Amino acid sequence: MVVGLMNRRRMFDLFVSISVAILITGCSGLGPLIGMHTPPSGQAPDQATIVELSTEGGITSSAARKPRRIGFLGAGTTQPWQGELVNGLRALGYEEGQDVIITRRFAGGGAGNELASKLAELGQELLDDPTNEVIVTADVASALALQKLTQDRPIVMAVSGDPVGLALVDSLAHPGHNITGLTTLSDGLTAKRLQLLHQMILQRLETPSAVSSNCPEGTQLRIAIMWNPSGGERPTEWQETYAEAAKSCVEISRLDVQDATDIESAFAGLDGIDGVIAWGDPILAVHRDRIAELALGHRVPAMFERPEFVDAGGLMGYSVSLAGLYRRSAAFVDRILHGLKPSDLPVEHPTEFEFVLNESTAEHLGLSIDVFRDQDPRVAH
């Protein structure tokens, strides 16, 4: 009697197991209700749910997710913020090595045609692997190189300057092609750098109030912009710089730097320059230690676009939080992996900023950082 009841119980459990298996594998509409991953229309599933019947009549389920693959291309020797891309992906449910595999390629620095050639070679290598569903770029040079190689494979710019001015996208709101991501452009950002450096330099003047909006003769400050013209023209930033300079009685000059030799000659010709602003660029980033050393040696107050220059001994930096941009770029990758097109994803402006001052460098130059305490800077030593 007991044996008969046990057999009937097992038969009932088996019937339930088979019924559930049919529902899971045959009714795609029930997927979201039972926790299954439902891919976008037209996209192949990236997760298969396997249902097994046990000998005891029970049901076991295992999710075998096929890792997604993305590429990463940078012009430098490495990218200190790429870990933030991994963190951003992890927050969205992608564990590197398990849910996503990232193939990284770096050009190792360089300039001009040499750098462009390296990036084209590495970019083509990433594109030749069809399993790389999307490629993340670390800088403008990498995005420009990939743009010449493909109009189909999705590209996410973790960092870009003026993507519209560089013709990487049609507009920020409507990128139009296979490229989207984030820009470092933010209203007032370039002007803010000039304002902060101007405020620092005024400490050196015996009568700072003499520099007025009327710009009387002999009171105009001279500030040089160090930049790499081969990295793109950056028209928006130049326009903002000249507009702010006109308000602040500042005369702007350009220091073109395309390789290490240019850096040395640029500082050698700084006679009469009151300060320097170095715009972010892979070439400058590779040589940031030397640039910070030369600025200190020539006793020239320098403002940098990236905080790592200040950590290397530069005086001050005001920048978009690159860590924040990389974390945010993960959201673009996720949307593309879920079937959205780059052309439908507007390019985003930054929302996080960082102000950094090097107290030791300021003291060496006879300057004080106390005037900036109310702006809550991060202080390096």
Q: Among 48, 64, 80, which residue terminates a domain?
A: 64
Is the domain of 140 the same as that of 74? yes
Most confident of 4-18, 195-209, 352-366: 352-366
Listed in sequence order, the DSSP H helices in 108-173 are 112-128, 140-149
**What is the pLDDT, as a whole number, of residue 216?**
57
Is the domain of 245 the same as that of 364? yes
**What is the pLDDT, as a whole number, of residue 217?**
56
Range of the domain at 112: 68-185+323-344
The tally of domains found in the chain comes to 3
Is the domain of 11 the same as that of 51? yes
Is the domain of 9 the same as that of 149? no
Is the domain of 372 the same as that of 240? yes
Is the domain of 8 the same as that of 30? yes
Is the domain of 89 the same as that of 51? no
Is the domain of 34 the same as that of 83? no
- Over residues 214-261, the pLDDT tens digits come to 565 555 899 999 999 887 778 888 999 999 999 888 999 999 998 888
Of the pLDDT bands very low, low, confident and very high (cuts 50, 70, 90), residue 35 is very low
Contacts 24+ apart (CB under 8 A), 174-177: 174/343, 174/346, 175/342, 175/343, 175/345, 175/346, 175/347, 176/343, 177/151, 177/342, 177/343
Q: Among 64, 80, 110, which residue terminates a domain?
A: 64
* Count of CB atoms situated within 10 Å of the CB of 344: 12
Of the pLDDT bands very low, low, confident and very high (cuts 50, 70, 90), residue 56 is very low
What is the rounded average pLDDT for all residues in the chain? 82
Helix axes 140-149 and 112-128, enclosed angle (nearest 10): 60
Pairwise pLDDT comparison (199 vs 282), residue with the higher score: 199
Q: Quick one: how far is CA 368 from the chain centroid?
A: 32
Is the domain of 234 the same as that of 367? yes
Residue position matching structure tokens 């999307």: 134
**What is the pLDDT, as a whole number, of residue 41?**
41
**What is the pLDDT, as a whole number, of residue 97?**
95
**What is the pLDDT, as a whole number, of residue 39?**
44
Is the domain of 181 the same as that of 111? yes
**What is the pLDDT, as a whole number, of residue 281?**
81
pLDDT > 90 fraction of the chain, expressed in percent and rounded: 59
The helix or strand, by DSSP H or E, that contains position 63, with its residue range, turns out to be strand 59-65
d(Cα 365, Cα 201) in Å, to the nearest integer?
A: 10
* 57 has pLDDT over 50: no
* 60 has pLDDT over 70: no
Strand segments, DSSP code E, in 274-360 are 275-278, 302-304, 316-320, 353-358
Nearest to 138 by CA among 90, 70, 197: 70
d(Cα 350, Cα 158) in Å, to the nearest integer?
A: 11
**What is the pLDDT, as a whole number, of residue 48?**
35
279 neighbors 225 (Cβ within 8 angstroms): yes
- Over residues 325-351, the pLDDT tens digits come to 999 999 999 999 999 999 999 999 999
Of the pLDDT bands very low, low, confident and very high (cuts 50, 70, 90), residue 80 is confident
Is the domain of 76 the same as that of 132? yes
Nearest to 205 by CA among 367, 16, 331, 88: 367
**What is the pLDDT, as a whole number, of residue 29?**
44
* 188 has pLDDT over 60: yes
Q: Among 44, 64, 84, which residue terminates a domain?
A: 64
Is the domain of 218 the same as that of 275? yes
Pairwise pLDDT comparison (191 vs 25), residue with the higher score: 191
What average pLDDT does the segment 184-207 reach? 87
> What CATH number should be reported for the domain holding residue 89?
3.40.50.2300
Q: What pTM does this model have? A: 0.67
